[in-house]
Structure 1
Amino acid sequence: MNLKQLVVMSAVAVATGCTSSQQHTSTPFDEYPVYEGEWVEMAYTPASTRFSLWAPSAQEVRVLLYEKGQGGSAYRMVKMEPASDGMWQARVDEDLKGKFYTFNVKIDDVWQGDTPGLMAKAVGVNGDRAAVIDWKETNPEGWNEDKRPPLKRFSDMVIYELHHRDFSIDTISGIRNRGKFLALTEEGTHTYLGEKTGIDHLKELGVTHVQLLPSFDFSSVDETRLDKPQYNWGYDPKNYNVPEGSYATDPYRPEVRIREFKQMVMALHRAGIRVVMDVVYNHTAITKGGNFERTVPGYFYRTDEEGKWANASGCGNETASERPMMRRFMIESVCYWAREYHIDGFRFDLMGIHDIETMNAIRKTLDKIDPTICMYGEGWAAGKPQLPDSLLAMKKHAAQLPHIGMFCDEMRDSLRGPWGNDAKGAFVIGRMGYAAGVKFGLAGGIAHPQLVSDKESTVPAFWAAQPEQMISYVSCHDDLCLADRLKATLPGLSALEMNALAKLAATAVFTSQGIPFWYAGDEILRDKQGVANSYKSPDAINAINWGRKTSQRDFFDYVRGLIAMRKAHPSFRMGDADLIAKHLEFLPVPASNVVAFRIKGSPAGDSWLNTIVVLNARTEPVQIDVPEGRYWIACRDGRIDNVLGLGTLTGNKLVVVPRTAMIVHQ
């Protein structure tokens, strides 16, 4: 997420300008007790249900019990008793399965208002009340046998970012549960022309990881009005540990969204695809009146020098990850999704707002569950966080964040043009001055010995300690999709030119030593009608038009071929900075706007020897000098075939036609 998107999120604006609530207590936050026991707010058995809430500044706390998840008055109020380290507890000795509950905290003689708690894991419609459920009843058949698909190294990943509704809402998708979690469980779906859609499309494309846009319970969609089209990306968190109800077939029944989310994960695992969640711990949808603020006022947020809510998120608040219980909240939440829902990775929104210690603590805890669970995020913030720069999980501090990846905006901007100026292109349209940034991305963001600035272009500052830390991409949900960016950059672009330039960009992404990341629908050149910040635009803007899979089949097959080539040949994913420095050699080129490199030898026993990649962004052909030999052609003239090949050539020169890539090997 970035500033352009964030500033328009009116749902969170109510908090901006509010002063901190620390006046509710005279105790400094750093003196609040840190609870170290099991942090479970509702523990159910048929005989009794135990309720717990961490509220160290409270005078009184009570639990209110309801028959329904919405409407009606509480039928019972239960007083909670103080326990150790700021925890309050109560027990009800009867079978409460199917009931709903809220907490209410009294501070300075004022009841703060009902919340489902901080750690609610099951909720009713719209997430206003938590639910008492039997967790054994939420597991679909076969769940206990569900396993993560194998992954040897993070460098083997190919990430595909999708939004639930975008991916399946099109009426010609052939998907029954359009816009729902269950859409990703349906096999055999296709368009009326026979093109595969849904999970079969993902298998055909060959990605290893699906990154889901926010799928936890968020605020902006009214789950009681799902008969009315509503859309949001979901970067407005409400209940962090519950699946979003609008993606479930029945948001009123708490167990349904849980079971269907698990069904989705299990189906993707069976398809050989891991699941990454986009998590948004850096801010909440609202501040005053939200779950955090009504429970422990002021504690979970930072304030500025004037005592107002800090706003490095651009959404009206920023959370205080450095405070022990907020740090623990993030660790507990991430690990809960990994254990309970078998999630395989986490993408952290505006990760630069969080502190380094917290991110490393999450990485360390996930390693104990499964070290192949990935972590990556945006190594920046929308504004200046209220924490010393040296403590923040920014991209420039990547060396202090081992095994945590970050998006490479340097490569993105070098390929397609700078952020904030849609009309200005870069390397793929032949604009000079960006070749060094492309090389930077191809090398995985590491300090490659050949990368030095010259009078033509400047090499970005190195920040990745290892290539697994660099996420290589050209577009994502946030900003223009690839096709729209190319159209904005070159008005009047023909379909053939669009196809050629998009192939050039895709080749750079998938031959990068970083981890390639692809935005859903770009493989069929999706069109969002020029809307960059489409976070609440209608389906007419955001939905993937599956008819384009037929009209753009040539481009789809090219992207699919690049992914297959990368997966088959470890030369493109060496995964080690020393190996890259040793084997990846940038070749001299005769003109600007051309990048050529050779992967010397056969790293990791690759069946290809001395692989050469040339990216020609010029409008005329170029001739590249290469070592003498006989070469098999895998990619040329906008076509790719890494299995049978496209022919051979002998000699010491490659001729690459305009606006194409060429890949050869011995």
Structure 2
Amino acid sequence: MNSNERNFLAYIDEMDIITILLALSYHHGLSSTFSITDESNKVKSIQIIKQQQIEKYNKYICRLSEEISFGHPYWIFDEHGGKTDLQIGAVIRTEVFDERFFYDGNDLGVSCKDNQTQFKIWAPTATQVKIKLRNPNSSFSEIIKMKRKEKGVWSSVVNSDLELYQYTFLVLVNQEWQESVDPYAVAVTANGERGVIVKLEKIHREKPVLPPFENPVDAIIYETHIRDFTIHPNSGAEHKGLYLGAGELNTTGKDGEPTGLSYVKDLGITHIEFLPFNDFAGVDELDPAIEYNWGYNPLHFNVPEGSYSTNPSDPYARILELKQLIDSIHSQGIRVMMDVVYNHVFVRETSSFEKVVPGYYFRHNELGFPSNGTGVGNDIASERKMVKKFIIDSIRFWLKEYHIDGFRFDLMGILDVETMREVRKTCDSIQKGTLIIGEGWNLNTPLPIEKKAIIRNQSKFPDIFQFNDKFRDTIKGNTFNLYDKGYVLGNEHYHEGAMDVITGSIGLIKKDSRLFNEPTQSVNYVECHDNHTLWDKLVYCLPDLDHLYHIKYHRLATGLVLLSQGIPFLHSGQEFFRTKRGDGNSYKSPNHINQLDWDRKDLYLENVNYIKGLIQIRKELPCFRFKSAEEIRSNTHILPLPKPIIGFSLQNKSHEFHEVLLLINPLRSKQTIQIPEGNWTLIANGQKAGIYLIQNLSNNELVLEPVCLTILAKK
């Protein structure tokens, strides 16, 4: 850029408004006239409607007599003969631009069939687009020009079968060429450097019939990470840390007992939710053992991650192996949930979005800088039509091509309500019962609060379910304050809050404490991949306490996750007291921190069996998964017990156990209480749980063991 260009800048900020900046060092920043010309060299004058000084520039707001035609270069002249190119400015973030260039076709990306390969890319602000095509068997590359079509789509058809050819797009915007991977790519080379043309119809699989899934509260979600799941030396898996390893059946630990997928099946889980497995940055796919990453660094949204594949250099391998994993999980009657990260990209400047349509896909603040509600330097502008379309297209792709059964939306509060409604509608049109959960945190992104997909707006998208941080912090204590003790640790201040969250956060105790309208909206959890594990928090909180009490507290907290109204969510290994050795943010920590320690499962098998028993109770007794707020209100009675003990009588009208008592003692001492008269069957206490007789009780006085829950049932 020469000195004249630096002193003279012009941007189109609305369809008929141009902003011109003249440096004060250049003719004192003064020009009484400006004109515009295009490739035809026909010169038109521009009307100056406002002028003001901003720092080292004079800023001129100018109006065009007619709108420019996007896709062609323009130049601006001043009265001194100075010349600069007209750059794309804030116009792309206007509603008019969005309406003008919205493309509703379903053919973006590449399709290859009948000895013909079609390329399409949406790049409305580009003045030229080319395809850079590479033969997979040589270093030879070919450049193919694309033609601009309607709505800013560029297209090209090559009359040959280009399967396995590698490709990128060369895009010219603002007089600058950028080389980009196709945002709609479905296959890539190792480390995602280039797109690859594949024929997915060759490897399409039919989805098997899964067990009925009638209501969201029937789900029991188990969150894990593909590498963590089997990387432990004693996982029993052959393909440790890979898609194939996570799908292996009949693996056993050193005690000969089940590990991996067979273990999860035996535990009683209905949904496995994997941390992101779309292509992400942070791990070298050609040498994955060196680095670790959770996967919240999205590169290519419609491509499986290569570091989990046996051969990341083979574009088909990762696709086939992920499909094999999903098939294997489905064969066990378990559904697969995918953690999706549509709220940001790894690096904005180098993302395909920014290279193809600079400035469009991301939110900007009032100063024009990229907003940062995500904390990683960029926020996806989901409210824009083609951004929303991309998200919907991507969800549709994963549902249809990979038979995904549910989605967890990372930092869902960055996204807008309307987009999430469209996600729900799309899922319902393809597969009823698709489970959609998300983090509805209110983050600092420039979107009006009434449009944010946050807990506060849950009534606007009631069929998408939210992580209940109130449940988490009430039961165990504040997740960001290691030393805060929650209800299960005996903190009486959380007593009323605990009653509220256990009954679905619907305001049963006090209407003004209502978080959700329906229990289905509440995803109940006390630990997940983020922050410290519950075990590590307990060890920090209560360092001088015997491990026996750490076990009791942990067992009680996990038990309440499984027995509260709403959707229970377990972090993998939580049932055998998962530890990350005190690491509270292990997103790139090594395997020995993040791995699922299968030896620990053997060590704490008694607790695993206890949790398995509670899962069995939840599945068997409808009173632990009421489907509506009305059902909870009609069938839940609070027992008059001294603080901080909690007791509920739950009506089970359709079950032989027509009344069930849930009793909770968070104190470290035995507590004697009065219970309703009748012949009660004890089905859970501090040591055992399951749908079987532990003990018959006919006395209306009961001694509650320290730090435990008790379940009594009456026929």
Shared topology, TM-score over 0.5?
Answer: yes
Match of 2:510 among 451, 472, 477: 451
Deviations 1:493-550 (Å, cap 9, x if unpaired)? 3221121111111121111111000000111112110001000000111111111111
Give the aligned residue type for 2:167. Answer: Y
Are the equivalent residues in 2 in contact too, given 1:51–1:90 (CA < 8 A)?
A: yes
Are the equivalent residues in 1 in contact too, given 2:121–2:155 (CA < 8 A)?
A: yes
Deviations 1:536-565 (Å, cap 9, x if unpaired)? 000111111111111101110111111111
Report whether the alignment pairs 1:354 with 2:415: yes
Aligned to 1:15: none
Whichever structure has more strand as a proportion of its residues is 2
Aligned to 1:373: 434
Indicate how the Cα distance of structure 1 residues 145 and 236 shifts in structure 2: closer, same or farther if over 3 A, else same: closer
What displacement does 1:229 show? Answer: 2.9
- Counterparts in 2 of 1:249-268, with a 5 A limit? 249-268=310-329
Are the equivalent residues in 1 in contact too, given 2:641–2:647 (CA < 8 A)?
A: yes
Are the equivalent residues in 2 in contact too, given 1:43–1:51 (CA < 8 A)?
A: yes
What displacement does 1:79 show? Answer: 0.5
Aligned to 2:514: 462
Deviations 1:387-409 (Å, cap 9, x if unpaired)? 11111011011111121100111
Deviations 1:122-181 (Å, cap 9, x if unpaired)? 111111211111213334xxx325234421111100000001111100011110111111
Aligned-partner Cα distance in 2 for 1:27–1:661: 60
Q: Secondary structure at the match of 2:91?
A: coil
- Counterparts in 2 of 1:263-278, with a 5 A limit? 263-278=324-339
Are the equivalent residues in 1 in contact too, given 2:230–2:241 (CA < 8 A)?
A: yes
Report whether the alignment pairs 1:119 with 2:181: no
Deviations 1:347-387 (Å, cap 9, x if unpaired)? 00111111111101110111111120011100114x41111
Aligned to 2:163: 97
Aligned to 1:521: 573
Report whether the alignment pairs 1:339 with 2:400: yes
Match of 2:106 among 27, 32, 38: 38
Structure 2 segments unaligned to the other structure (5+ residues): 1-85
Deviant stretches of 4+, over 3 Å: 25-28
Aligned to 1:51: 119
Report whether the alignment pairs 1:626 with 2:675: yes
Aligned to 1:485: 537
Which 10-residue stretch deviates more, 515-524 or 543-552? 543-552
Report whether the alignment pairs 1:303 with 2:367: no
Report whether the alignment pairs 1:239 with 2:291: no
What displacement does 1:23 show? Answer: 5.2
Are the equivalent residues in 2 in contact too, given 1:503–1:638 (CA < 8 A)?
A: no
- Counterparts in 2 of 1:580-595, with a 5 A limit? 580-590=632-642, 592-595=643-646
Give the aligned residue type for 1:451. Answer: K
Structure 1 segments unaligned to the other structure (5+ residues): 1-21, 453-458
Aligned to 1:196: 258
Match of 2:151 among 78, 82, 85: 85
Aligned to 1:12: none
What displacement does 1:606 show? Answer: 2.2
Tell me how many residue pairs correspond in the alignment.
625
What displacement does 1:40 show? Answer: 2.9
Which 10-residue stretch deviates more, 396-405 or 37-46? 37-46
Match of 2:473 among 410, 413, 418: 413
Are the equivalent residues in 2 in contact too, given 1:195–1:549 (CA < 8 A)?
A: no
TM-score of the two chains, using structure 2 as the length reference: 0.85
Are the equivalent residues in 1 in contact too, given 2:171–2:180 (CA < 8 A)?
A: no
What displacement does 1:587 show? Answer: 1.3
Aligned to 1:538: 590
Report whether the alignment pairs 1:27 with 2:86: no
Are the equivalent residues in 1 in contact too, given 2:659–2:713 (CA < 8 A)?
A: yes
Are the equivalent residues in 2 in contact too, given 1:149–1:274 (CA < 8 A)?
A: no
Give the aligned residue type for 1:160. Answer: Y
Report whether the alignment pairs 1:151 with 2:202: no
Indicate how the Cα distance of structure 1 residues 145 and 578 shifts in structure 2: closer, same or farther if over 3 A, else same: closer
Indicate how the Cα distance of structure 1 residues 73 and 430 shifts in structure 2: closer, same or farther if over 3 A, else same: same
Deviations 1:555-585 (Å, cap 9, x if unpaired)? 1011111111111111111111100011012
Give the aligned residue type for 2:276. Answer: P
Are the equivalent residues in 1 in contact too, given 2:92–2:360 (CA < 8 A)?
A: no
What displacement does 1:441 show? Answer: 1.7
Aligned-partner Cα distance in 2 for 1:59–1:36: 21
Aligned to 1:575: 627
Aligned to 1:11: none
Aligned-partner Cα distance in 1 for 2:283–2:657: 51
Aligned to 1:312: 373
Indicate how the Cα distance of structure 1 residues 280 and 26 shifts in structure 2: closer, same or farther if over 3 A, else same: closer
Aligned-partner Cα distance in 2 for 1:593–1:196: 39
Aligned to 2:493: 433
What displacement does 1:68 show? Answer: 4.1
Match of 1:649 among 674, 691, 697: 697
What displacement does 1:26 show? Answer: 6.4
Are the equivalent residues in 1 in contact too, given 2:167–2:195 (CA < 8 A)?
A: yes
Aligned to 1:456: none
Deviations 1:180-204 (Å, cap 9, x if unpaired)? 1111221110012112101111111
The percent of aligned pairs where both chains have the same amino acid is: 36
Bigger radius of gyration: 2
What displacement does 1:651 show? Answer: 3.0
Aligned to 2:197: 132
Are the equivalent residues in 1 in contact too, given 2:530–2:585 (CA < 8 A)?
A: yes
Give the aligned residue type for 1:269. Answer: H
Deviations 1:73-106 (Å, cap 9, x if unpaired)? 6510110001111110001111211111001110
Aligned-partner Cα distance in 1 for 2:287–2:276: 20
Report whether the alignment pairs 1:597 with 2:640: no
What displacement does 1:607 show? Answer: 2.6
Match of 1:108 among 138, 158, 174: 174
Are the equivalent residues in 2 in contact too, given 1:621–1:656 (CA < 8 A)?
A: yes
Are the equivalent residues in 1 in contact too, given 2:677–2:699 (CA < 8 A)?
A: yes
Indicate how the Cα distance of structure 1 residues 569 and 26 shifts in structure 2: closer, same or farther if over 3 A, else same: closer
Aligned-partner Cα distance in 2 for 1:224–1:432: 53
What displacement does 1:55 show? Answer: 0.4
CA RMSD of aligned residues (A): 1.6
Match of 1:475 among 522, 527, 536: 527
Aligned to 1:171: 233
What displacement does 1:298 show? Answer: 0.6
Are the equivalent residues in 2 in contact too, given 1:637–1:661 (CA < 8 A)?
A: yes
Deviations 1:1-52 (Å, cap 9, x if unpaired)? xxxxxxxxxxxxxxxxxxxxx9534634321410011233100015110000
Match of 1:209 among 271, 275, 292: 271
Aligned-partner Cα distance in 2 for 1:237–1:655: 53
Aligned to 2:608: 556
Give the aligned residue type for 1:75. Answer: S
Aligned to 2:706: 658
Q: Secondary structure at the match of 2:682?
A: strand
Report whether the alignment pairs 1:501 with 2:553: yes
Q: Secondary structure at the match of 1:246?
A: coil
Give the aligned residue type for 1:39. Answer: D
Q: Secondary structure at the match of 1:547?
A: helix
Report whether the alignment pairs 1:385 with 2:445: yes
